[in-house]
């Protein structure tokens, strides 16, 4: 793990071969776990020799970085397409949530948990996760500011705290989807979306909230 500093830079443009390897690796990591899986397993699943695999990805960490980069590109494109002309922002966010949290196969959540567990002990991987987070949050903050300007959301919404609340809930949704075999992703998603809509109206900036928080009970 400690020798991964150089290897963790993701390859930027994805060839068809890169995509095939990433798909194979997702399957292998979900089944065997990131830690137990080997480059040999990934090569076999991708139908190539280990030597050939190493020409595309130098390590498991590089593969993980490639997966994360691919996901980031997709999600960033969805956030970049957020636009008032497409309807209410919260409706658009819900649709993105349905796509990435519910319609994706459960394996994606299993892999995310493997990556997070590694990131908790691996600075390089933690930095990579933070980079993804930053890209996403940046696009969302801009869209939320616009929705405040056009009156869809309350002008005093604390968008930083609102986003943190929603992101934590989405991460928790992902954890449950990965861990609980019987987890009802659709029902869980409804709770997430209802909470998002409720919190958008109930998370004002601290200055506006100050008088109310004195008597919390």
Please tell me what DSSP assigns to residue 9: S
Q: Which stretch binds a second copy (CB under 8 A): 14-22, 42-50, 76-84, 201-209?
A: 201-209
State which of positions 61-80 bind a second copy (CB under 8 A).
Answer: none
Q: Is 96 in the site for a second copy (CB under 8 A)?
A: no
Q: Is 44 in the site for a second copy (CB under 8 A)?
A: no
Query: What letters, b where the CB count within 10 A reaches 16 and e where it falls short, cover 170-195?
Result: beebbeebbeeeeeebeebbeebbee
Q: Is 101 in the site for a second copy (CB under 8 A)?
A: no
> How many chain residues are in contact with a second copy, going by CB under 8 A?
56
Q: Calculate the CA 20 to chain-centre distance.
A: 21
Residue 138, judged by CB atoms within 10 A of its CB (0-12, 13-18, 19+), counts as: exposed
Of 20, 163, 31, 193, the C-alpha closest to 101 is 193
Q: Is 117 in the site for a second copy (CB under 8 A)?
A: yes
**Residue 155: CB partners within 8 Å, gap ≥ 6?**
148
Q: Is 105 in the site for a second copy (CB under 8 A)?
A: no
Measured from the CB atom, the residue of 39 and 48 that comes closer to a second copy is 39
Q: Is 145 in the site for a second copy (CB under 8 A)?
A: no
Minimum distance of a second copy from residue 8's CB (angstroms): 15
Cβ(74)–Cβ(20) below 8 Å: no
Cβ(92)–Cβ(44) below 8 Å: no
The Cα-based distances of 30 to 106, 128, 132, 193 in angstroms read 9, 20, 21, 27
Measured from the CB atom, the residue of 76 and 170 that comes closer to a second copy is 170
Q: Is 189 in the site for a second copy (CB under 8 A)?
A: no
Minimum distance of a second copy from residue 128's CB (angstroms): 10
Q: Is 129 in the site for a second copy (CB under 8 A)?
A: yes
Chain residues that interact with a second copy, rule: CB under 8 A: 30-33, 35-36, 87-88, 90-91, 109-110, 113-114, 116-121, 123, 126, 129-130, 152, 161, 164-165, 167-173, 175-176, 178-181, 188, 191-192, 194-195, 197-199, 201-203, 209, 213, 216-217
């Amino acid at each position: 793990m400690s020798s991964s500093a150089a290897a963790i830079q993701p390859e930027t443009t994805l060839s068809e071969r890169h995509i095939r390897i990433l798909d194979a690796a997702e399957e292998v990591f979900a089944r065997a776990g990131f830690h137990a899986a080997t480059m040999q397993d990934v090569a076999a699943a991708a139908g190539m020799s280990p030597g050939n695999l190493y020409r595309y990805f130098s390590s498991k960490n590089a593969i993980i970085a490639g997966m994360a980069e691919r996901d980031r590109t997709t999600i960033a494109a969805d956030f970049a397409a957020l636009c008032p002309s497409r309807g209410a922002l919260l409706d658009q966010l819900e649709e993105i949530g349905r796509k990435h949290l519910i319609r994706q196969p459960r394996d994606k959540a299993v892999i995310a948990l493997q990556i997070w567990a590694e990131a908790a002990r691996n600075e390089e991987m933690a930095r990579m996760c933070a980079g993804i987070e930053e890209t996403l949050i940046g696009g969302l903050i801009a869209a939320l500011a616009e929705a405040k300007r056009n009156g869809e959301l309350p002008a005093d919404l604390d968008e930083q705290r609102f986003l943190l609340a929603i992101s934590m809930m989405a991460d928790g949704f992902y954890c449950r989807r990965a861990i609980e075999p019987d987890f009802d992703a659709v029902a869980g998603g409804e709770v997430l979306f209802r909470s998002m809509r409720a919190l958008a109206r109930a998370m004002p900036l601290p200055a506006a909230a100050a008088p109310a928080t004195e008597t919390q009970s």
